[in-house]
Amino acid sequence: MNLPVKYNFKDFTLENYKYILSLIKEKFKTITFDEVFNSEQKSKILLLRHDIEFSVAIALKMAEMEKEQGLLSTYFIQLHSEFYNPLDKDSFEAINRIKELGHKLGLHFDAHFWNVRNEYELEKYLEIDKSTLETYFRVTIDAFSFHNTNNFILSFNKEKYANLVNVYSKKIMSEFGYCTDSTGYWRYERLEDRIKSGNDDKLHILIHDGMWQNEILPPRQRVFKVIDERAAYLKKLYDETLKRFGAKNIDWEEIY
């Protein structure tokens, strides 16, 4: 089986993302999630959403591309990720840069971290994470997306919880077509084909940063590349920090 063809490996490059954005610009007006319920334009509108999962640096590159095309996105930030820390200096500055480019910030909420069992707990922990994001990034958070959905989580389908727009609400999921690159391949339909078809009056697109690279790779290797680059960065950071503070750096031999 030809997996690169079956799963469209060549689609998931940053250069091709730029091309996809040009198609979006021709067909749609991008809106934010808080505009879903009061937008005067009823057709050819698009919700462009990023759940930041692996690499804030790649998310920033995508945000810059969108800015060049005059498109608006919402970047949903996770506070409990194993892959990145939004509050470390580099990520913090990159997220603020995304905000400065005119994009919206949202909360990528991990109900599994909080072991959410009911609606009361959902709203309680949404408030905590929302407050953290708003405090650090000095923004008003209007919307949230769930991380790692399952049938139980998707049963929370009201329009809002904790006064935040639920991107998986019954209203949004029923009124908007949906296309996502979750786990590194197109779910439901190839995005380029869907945009070109012109069949959607309203479309909701979900993009995951680490699934897009400069080179053509299978999904697993795209994620491993982010992990390996992060590990190399941290090793270099450790060495440089010890050197800057004049501390001994001892391996099998003393480096300095």
Nearest to 219, CA basis, from 195, 184, 181:
184
Residue 181, Ramachandran bin (φ over 0: left; ψ between -120 and 50: alpha; else beta) = alpha
Per-residue model confidence as pLDDT tens for the chain (256 residues): 699 999 999 999 999 999 999 999 999 999 999 998 776 667 899 999 999 999 999 999 999 999 999 999 999 999 999 999 999 999 999 999 999 999 999 999 999 999 999 999 999 999 999 999 999 999 999 999 999 999 999 999 999 999 999 999 999 999 999 999 999 999 889 999 999 999 999 999 999 999 999 999 999 999 999 999 999 999 999 999 999 999 999 999 877 7
Residue 137 CA to residue 105 CA, distance in Å, equals: 9
Q: What pLDDT sits at residue 39?
A: 62
Q: What pLDDT sits at residue 41?
A: 67
With the C-alpha atoms ordered 186, 49, 226, 130, is the resulting torsion angle positive or negative? negative
Asked if residues 222 and 184 have their Cβ atoms less than 8 Å apart, the reply is yes
Neighbours of 57 (CB within 10 A): 17
Which position has the token pair 């079956």? Answer: 6
Residue 144 CA to residue 148 CA, distance in Å, equals: 13
Q: What pLDDT sits at residue 5?
A: 95
Indicate whether this model's pTM tops 0.75: yes
